[in-house]
């Protein structure tokens, strides 16, 4: 199945209420599962990932298939490592290609009983009743692994008999998601100490408190992208918070360099076009990797040179996003490549460059690689001229109403062969 997207007028005008953040929702569900007394979660994400989390989190003694939901798999691995009974935790073909070894190693170091059922270091897993879980009270983990691994360990930490000390080795990636986890734990009464390369969480109990989930800044980024590529914009996005715990809230700053202005409202913001576009966008995406694709596509659409760092985790997402960006941007005459050595100081960082201005005479067909963010990152290009998106249903993973919201904003969406 393919969608062809088009827009009669190159303007983005309207009013959209955004869904709850998937990242925050899944953490709230995990914390509720670890809390003695249930509590209400308001504005919970309707994403397939969060639905999978809700559906599976209370299951006992059986096979749990999370599909492509990476966060769900990682959080449930830690949760069921603390529970009695036996679980088989599995997922989609792509999920079985995504490494889980560092989290399993850490949990085994704490006393968990986990076995690989197929390839060593990868799902599926068999998780049995642990013996003396948490008596060891400290572990060392690589800091450059997915923050979801560390977040999963942190959330179970207060429930362990001796709490947990986590020593982080190396450079921390996706630090904003780690801080999100700690901030949410603090809301539910958990104290912690985070100093340099060590996080300490004493044994304690989560407090039961009603929690309202912020709307999703990752979802908002696609509307920012459409506004940046349009000739005119007056778009209100409701549910976003100015003081947000989401790293993707940096979209306000980044898109200000791409010609957008934000005016804050009591329950969200309004985007307009009023600033000139800078010829170069430089950013380290280590705290906000989920919007890197979006910014790469917008740079290509506007003909802005982009130099991006902090993309270390992109190759182990739903697809290898670095490879996917390179292939799909090439279809519209834009290059996405690792920068020459002269752009990469010895200290370290790997740079990727976006160069060229997008152009096409007939609708290009963009593959999504079963990756929701590929579909939503490339869709905004249709405000310039029609494009085709393959496998459009993948957006359900994080933003089920994405196509409906585009229709509300004036897009024409046609199912094509």
Within 8 A by CB and 6+ apart from 361, the residues are: none
Any idea what the Cα angle at residue 219 is, between residues 143 and 268, rounded to 5°? 110
Q: How far apart are CA 197 and CA 298, in angstroms?
A: 36
Q: How far apart are CA 54 and CA 346, in angstroms?
A: 46
Any idea what the Cα angle at residue 57 is, between residues 56 and 61, rounded to 5°? 75
Alpha carbon 79 to chain centroid distance? 20
Residue 300 tokens read as 């290509």
Strand 305-309 and strand 198-201: the pairing is unpaired
- Catalytic, out of 290, 391, 401, 405: 290
Nearest by Cα to 115 from 65, 149, 80, 158 = 80
Nearest by Cα to 72 from 209, 84, 228, 59 = 59
Within 8 A by CB and 6+ apart from 404, the residues are: none
Could you confirm whether 290 is annotated as catalytic?
yes
Q: How far apart are CA 234 and CA 232, in angstroms?
A: 7
Which amino acids are annotated catalytic? 290
């Amino acid at each position: 199945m393919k969608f062809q997207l088009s827009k009669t007028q190159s303007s983005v005008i309207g009013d959209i209420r955004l869904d709850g953040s998937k990242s925050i929702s899944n953490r709230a569900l995990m914390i509720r599962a670890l809390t003695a007394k249930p509590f209400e979660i308001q504005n919970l994400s309707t994403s397939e990932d969060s639905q999978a989390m809700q559906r599976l989190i209370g299951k006992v003694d059986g096979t749990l298939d999370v599909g492509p939901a990476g966060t769900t798999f990682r959080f449930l691995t830690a949760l069921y490592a603390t529970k009695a009974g036996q679980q088989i935790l599995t997922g989609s073909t792509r999920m079985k290609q995504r490494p889980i070894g560092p989290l399993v190693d850490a949990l085994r170091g704490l006393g968990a009983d986990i076995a690989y059922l197929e390839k060593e270091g990868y799902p599926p897993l068999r998780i049995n009743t642990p013996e003396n879980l948490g008596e060891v009270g400290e572990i060392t983990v690589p800091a450059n692994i997915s923050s979801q691994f560390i977040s999963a360990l942190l959330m179970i930490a207060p429930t362990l008999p001796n709490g947990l000390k986590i020593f982080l080795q190396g450079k921390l990636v996706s630090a904003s998601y780690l801080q999100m986890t700690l901030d949410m734990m603090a809301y539910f009464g958990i104290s912690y100490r985070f100093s340099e390369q060590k996080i300490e969480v004493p044994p304690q109990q989560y407090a039961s408190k009603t929690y309202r989930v912020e709307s999703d800044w990752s979802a908002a980024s696609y509307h920012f992208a459409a506004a940046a590529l349009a000739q005119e914009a007056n778009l209100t996005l409701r549910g976003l918070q100015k003081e947000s715990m989401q790293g993707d809230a940096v979209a306000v700053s980044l898109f200000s360099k791409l010609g957008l202005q934000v005016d804050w409202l009591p329950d969200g913001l309004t985007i307009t076009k009023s600033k000139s576009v800078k010829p170069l966008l430089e950013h380290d995406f280590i705290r906000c990797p989920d919007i890197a694709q979006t910014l790469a596509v917008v740079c290509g659409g506007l003909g802005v040179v982009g130099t991006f760092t902090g993309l270390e985790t992109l190759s182990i997402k739903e697809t290898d996003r670095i490879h996917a960006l390179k292939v799909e941007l090439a279809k519209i005459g834009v290059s996405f490549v690792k920068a020459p050595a002269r752009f990469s100081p010895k200290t370290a960082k790997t740079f990727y460059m976006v160069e060229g201005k997008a152009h096409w005479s007939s609708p290009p067909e963009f593959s999504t690689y079963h990756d929701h963010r590929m579909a939503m990152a490339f869709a905004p290009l249709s405000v310039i001229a029609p494009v085709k998106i393959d496998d459009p249903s993948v957006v359900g993973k994080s933003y089920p109403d994405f196509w409906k919201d585009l229709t509300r904003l004036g897009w024409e969406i046609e199912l094509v062969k």
